[in-house]
Structure 1
């Protein structure tokens, strides 16, 4: 079970440390496997995206940063290095991905993804789209 309270607390503290303000949280729902904490800055509103994934080592919580405008089938990852660094301090043991990592292509034939439901049915073109999916 993900720790929603820790995630929200970390978003508030990260916003404070990076001079942003939390504007809302959007829970995961049907067709969207992640939750977001939206933090507004003078130059943009960033969404801290948070989900879980399973690999050979078991369950792990993962995070990234995206543009807050997320629609079904569309998610744009962004660089917000200060925010990512603070989240890393606040949420040790969680896997935080940079924009470059999330936009990297993946080999859908690799054993890790070969039988992954999202990879089989939606054929995403990047790591971020397989980890943080928003399809109906």
Structure 2
């Protein structure tokens, strides 16, 4: 199971080491989504570090965060993005398996990313 403490620590370290800052944590506590998010401001862009919550070896990846403003629906497939500097920091945490967009875009339903990080479990 994913340690929220370790996930938060990884997000803070990734933000700090790459010149970003944490904007918010979206901790999943219901049936869906099946992942947590650490949203950070990174080089003028918002990025989400997403982490599966119910796997023995948690998987993390970098995605565009959902806009949740009361009118937008916060579900659907994520858009994974390249962020090598964030991936390098996250890879220092042995508790997590870090995947890139290339790793995630080859499996059904649409891609592995959708299978691992979803709102439909």
The TM-score with structure 1 as length reference comes to: 0.76
Q: State the structure with bigger RCO (CA 8 A, min sep 6), 1 or 2.
A: 2
Contact preservation (8 Å) 1:102, 1:126: yes
Deviates more, 1:70-79 or 1:92-101: 70-79
Unmatched tracts of structure 1, length 5 or more? 107-123
Select the structure of larger CA radius of gyration. 1
Report runs of 4+ in structure 1 exceeding 4 Å deviation.
none
Residue aligning to 1:65: 62
Match of 1:39 in 2: 40
Distance in 2 separating the partners of 1:22 and 1:47? 10
In the other structure, the counterpart of 2:50 is: 49
Gaps of 5+ in 2: 68-73
Aligned counterparts of 1:81 and 1:101: Cα–Cα separation in 2: 13
User: Number of aligned pairs?
Assistant: 114
Once the 2 structures are TM-superposed, how far is the Cα of residue 102 of structure 1 from its aligned partner? 1.0
For the aligned residue pairs, the C-alpha RMSD in angstroms reads 1.8
